[in-house]
């Protein structure tokens, strides 16, 4: 092992809330490690890079801390011909560089400020999502901002782009890449009319389409979907409390009298071409995949289940608090929207498992996919307890694995196709796993066709990887586009 296990579990003390200590504690060094101990065997037909983004503040925060505040850090596992290299590196955002100059945190977090407050500036932490596009890993932030481009192998920040156009502020987390055309579709949202924008970036990184999307008010959407011909945008009954917004404070409301709406717009559609479909009120963090079946647009997703009171009615306050605290009660769900007839319907695909952080074979983004790989969740402890594979056509759970749901934490997994992929699930599922009881950190590799067998390889890492957000997989052909 290249360095001793020396991860301080409360580097900034205990006064900034629970999301900076223990399993959430940031790492304060950047590493490039090879020849790590392996139990089992790293498959020879596994080539590419697993990238995972997450908050990792470098300096002691100002005031109370929320995970969307911390400087984005990428942890990666780069596989080449049976060899593995682990790296971690901060994204050199404008905020990180300013802090570097000052030698301290110079920004306020979302619990203490709002975007646009001059007296309490916020930083675009780029800490939420990462996706491969045009040869780069593209890091983005939940509240929308710049796109930061990273070398997917070295993790060096090689540039950034501000895709904001009027109206708008940039790009939200969760853009989607069509791996056939190379285009990246994205949305942007902001707290003034028209409240949303939608855009398309071509395979070389040039913005080729950008239109305003009119919503009835400020909203806090989180994800979107694409098919081969359409993009699906979200208008959910979750928004900034208007009074708090006017006072420059952050407070989320959930309104159970409003329906959820999904807007289907042709990939290069004008604003007025969007067709809205109404469904039962909910929040929704993550789409799994979308595709077309005849005139229907199908969206599979993890529907956030609103909290109910003892009478079975939605408790708006508890639901809003759960969303604000990143609690999760999600079920596998399918939405169908007929763009010709306007008919729509929704159905729960599996009511038994509280799962989120979905992944699948992104070569099929926008096309039908059958398999998805998610993480089981315990909402009481915010605990990501194990992996689970689903058949998203039937909702059937096809197997799961955990080293110990009471004390093991799993990162968002991602599916990595085998070199000579012969079927949709021919490949591997990659994730990080922290065992809090044994105090060990592993990178785990599963056979995607048999998750329940447990990892085919466990790689020991010398420091804990803090609980984070999203991950992606980039194939060698995606990594080498611009090299
Ligand atoms: Fe997300």
| Separation of CA 471 and ligand 1 centre (Å) | 10
Calpha distance 446→269 (Å, rounded): 40
Cα(356) to ligand 1 centroid in Å equals 10
Tokens 């009027």 identify what position? 166
Higher pLDDT, 483 or 237: 237
What pLDDT score does 1 carry?
Answer: 39
- Rounded to the nearest angstrom, the distance between the alpha carbon of 171 and the centre of ligand 1 is 13
What is the whole-number distance in angstroms between the Cα of residue 139 and the centre of ligand 1?
12
Separation of CA 409 and ligand 1 centre (Å)? 17
- State in Å: Cα 222 to ligand 1 middle: 6
Least confident span in 115-124, 164-173, 361-370, 420-429: 115-124
Cα angle value 82/86/87 (rounded, 5°): 145
Distance CA 141, CA 54 (A): 10
Q: What is the distance in A from the centroid of ligand 1 to the CA of 287?
A: 9
Residue 4 included in any domain: no
Nearest to 222 by CA among 112, 144, 132, 331: 144
Residue with tokens 């490949």: 427
26-37 pLDDT tens trace: 999 999 999 999
How far away, in angstroms, is 51 Cα from ligand 1 center?
15
| pLDDT tens digits, 39-64 | 999 999 999 999 999 999 999 999 88
Count of domains in the chain? Answer: 1
Contact 67, 24 (CB under 8 A): yes
Distance 284 CA to ligand 1 centre (A): 10
What mean pLDDT value characterizes the chain?
94
Q: What's the gap in Å between 242 CA and the centre of ligand 1? A: 24
Q: Residue 327 Cα, ligand 1 centroid: separation in angstroms?
A: 13
- CA of 384 relative to ligand 1 center, distance in Å: 14
DSSP string, 245-292: HHTT---EEE-TTSPEEEEEEETT--GGG-EEEEE---EEEEEEEEEE
365 within a domain of the structure (yes/no): yes
Q: Separation of 24 CA from ligand 1 center, angstroms?
A: 17
pLDDT tens across 176-231, in order?
999 999 999 999 999 999 999 999 999 999 999 999 999 999 999 999 999 999 99
3-state secondary structure labels for all residues of 360-425:
CCHHHCCCCCCEEEEEEEECCCCEEEEEEEEECCCCCEEEEECCCCCCEEECCCEEEECCCCCCCC
Residues for the chain: how many in total?
Answer: 483
Q: How far is the CA of 206 from the centre of ligand 1 (A)?
A: 24
- Distance between Cα 469 and ligand 1 center (Å): 7
Q: Domain limits at 32?
A: 18-479
Sign of CA dihedral 305, 370, 415, 399: positive
The domain that holds 332 is classified in CATH as 2.130.10.10
Ligand 1 midpoint to CA 467 (Å): 13
pLDDT at 195: 97
483, with CB counted inside 10 A (0-12, 13-18, 19+), is exposed
Q: Is the link from the previous residue into 456 a cis peptide, with omega within 30 of 0?
A: no
Give residue 142 CA to ligand 1 midpoint distance, Å: 7
Q: Which two tokens stand for residue 160?
A: 């950034």
Rounded Cα gap, residues 93 and 10, in angstroms: 24
**7 within domain boundaries:** no
Structural domain includes residue 258: yes
Contact in structure between 414 and 437 (CB atoms under 8 Å): no
| Structural contact between residues 147 and 161, judged by C-beta atoms closer than 8 angstroms | yes
Using one digit for the tens of pLDDT, what is the confidence trace for 61-73? 998 899 999 999 9
Q: Does the residue 11 lie in any domain?
A: no
- pLDDT-derived band at 395 (thresholds 50, 70, 90) equals very high
Q: Is the pTM of this model over 0.85?
A: yes
Q: How far is the CA of 44 from the centre of ligand 1 (A)?
A: 31
Centre of ligand 1 to C-alpha 66, Å, is: 15
Centre of ligand 1 from the C-alpha of residue 357, in Å = 8
What secondary structure does DSSP assign to 157-218, as a single string? EEEEE----SS--SBBS--EE-TTT--EEEEEE-SSTTEEEEEEE-TTS-EEEEEEEE-SS-
Integer CA distances (angstroms), 438 to 86, 430, 446, 456, in order: 21, 21, 21, 20
Residue 5 placed within a domain: no
Tens of pLDDT, residues 424-458 = 999 999 999 999 999 999 999 999 999 999 999 99
């Amino acid at each position: 092992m290249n360095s001793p296990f020396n991860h301080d579990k409360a580097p900034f003390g205990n006064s900034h809330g629970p999301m900076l200590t223990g399993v959430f504690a940031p790492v304060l060094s950047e590493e490039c490690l090879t020849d790590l101990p392996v139990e089992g065997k790293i498959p020879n037909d596994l080539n590419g890079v697993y990238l995972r983004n997450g908050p990792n503040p470098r300096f002691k925060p100002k005031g109370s801390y929320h995970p969307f505040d911390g400087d984005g850090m990428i942890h990666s596992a780069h596989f080449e011909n049976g060899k593995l290299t682990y790296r971690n590196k901060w994204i050199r955002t404008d905020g990180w560089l300013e802090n570097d100059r000052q030698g301290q945190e110079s920004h306020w977090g979302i619990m203490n400020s709002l975007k646009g407050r001059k007296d309490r500036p916020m930083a675009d932490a780029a800490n939420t999502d990462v996706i491969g596009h045009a040869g780069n890993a593209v890091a983005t932030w939940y509240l929308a901002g710049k796109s930061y481009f990273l070398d997917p192998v070295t993790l060096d920040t090689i540039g950034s782009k501000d895709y904001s156009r009027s109206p708008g502020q940039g790009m939200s987390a969760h853009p989607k890449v069509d791996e056939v055309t190379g285009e990246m579709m994205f949305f942007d949202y902001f707290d003034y009319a028209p409240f949303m924008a939608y855009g398309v970036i071509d395979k070389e990184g040039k913005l080729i389409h950008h239109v305003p999307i009119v919503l009835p008010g400020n909203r806090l959407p989180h994800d979107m979907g694409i098919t081969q011909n359409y993009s699906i945008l979200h208008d959910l009954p979750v928004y900034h409390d208007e009074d708090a917004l006017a006072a420059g404070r952050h407070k989320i409301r959930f309104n159970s009298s409003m329906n959820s709406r999904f807007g289907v717009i042709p990939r290069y559609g004008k604003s007025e071409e969007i067709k809205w479909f109404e469904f039962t009120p909910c929040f929704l963090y993550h789409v799994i995949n979308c595709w077309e079946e005849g005139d229907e647009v199908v969206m599979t997703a993890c529907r956030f289940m609103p909290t109910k009171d003892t009478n079975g009615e939605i408790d708006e306050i508890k639901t809003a608090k759960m969303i604000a605290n990143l609690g999760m009660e999600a079920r596998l769900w399918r939405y169908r929207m007929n763009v010709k007839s306007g008919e729509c319907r929704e159905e729960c695909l599996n009511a038994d498992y509280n799962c989120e952080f979905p992944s699948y074979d992104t070569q099929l983004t926008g096309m039908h996919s059958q398999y998805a790989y998610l993480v089981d969740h315990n909402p009481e402890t915010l605990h990501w307890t194990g992996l689970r594979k689903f058949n998203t056509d039937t909702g059937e759970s096809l197997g799961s694995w955990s080293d110990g749901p009471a004390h093991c934490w799993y990162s968002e997994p991602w599916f990595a196709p085998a070199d000579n992929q012969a079927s949709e699930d021919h490949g591997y599922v990659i994730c990080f796993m922290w065992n809090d009881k044994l105090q060990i950190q592993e990178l785990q590799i599963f056979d995607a066709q048999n998750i329940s067998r447990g990892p085919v390889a466990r790689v020991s890492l010398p420091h804990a990887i803090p609980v984070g957000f999203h991950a992606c997989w980039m194939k060698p052909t995606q990594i080498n586009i611009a090299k």
